[in-house]
């Protein structure tokens, strides 16, 4: 198993690096499984989603399973909105409960 840690913004200017990194791991290491850790992701746009989907497809083509782990709140929300949580093996999280109220004054 190989873990790739993604952090910061995954957008049009960085999504190619993520995809290229996955391809490099597939070529050099030939793992049976890749986990992409999204805990440090602060932004995820359509090009980032595309890079993740292309990475998953490339992995599957060589018999490797690519999953996402520990998505940041924003990454999880974006993947939820576009309906890709199950595609990447992620569960739907329950809504956050409101915090305790502070008295005014």
* Statement: residue 11 has pLDDT above 80: yes
pLDDT at position 52? 98
Separation of alpha carbons 31 and 8, rounded Å: 25
Could you tell me which residues come within 8 angstroms of residue 14 by beta carbon, excluding any fewer than 6 positions away?
8, 48
Q: For 20-44, what is each residue's pLDDT tens digit?
A: 999 999 999 999 999 999 999 999 9
Taking the whole predicted model, whether its pTM rises above 0.75 is answered as: yes
Spatial distance between the Cα atoms of 83 and 67, rounded to a whole number of angstroms: 15
Q: Which residues contact 42 (CB under 8 A, 6 or more apart)?
A: 7, 8, 9, 72, 74
pLDDT tens digits for 45-100? 999 999 999 999 999 999 999 999 999 999 999 999 999 999 998 866 555 555 55
* CATH numbers and ranges of domains, the chain: 2-81 (3.30.750.24)
């Amino acid at each position: 198993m190989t873990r790739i840690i993604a952090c910061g913004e995954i957008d049009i200017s960085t999504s190619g690096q993520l995809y290229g990194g996955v391809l490099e791991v597939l070529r050099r290491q030939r793992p049976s499984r890749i986990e992409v850790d999204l805990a440090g992701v602060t932004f995820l746009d359509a090009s980032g989603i595309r890079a993740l989907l292309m990475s998953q497809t490339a992995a599957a083509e060589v018999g490797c399973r690519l999953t996402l782990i520990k998505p940041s709140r924003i990454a999880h929300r974006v993947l939820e909105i576009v309906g890709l949580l199950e595609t990447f093996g992620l569960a739907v999280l329950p809504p956050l409960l409101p915090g305790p109220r502070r008295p005014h004054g």
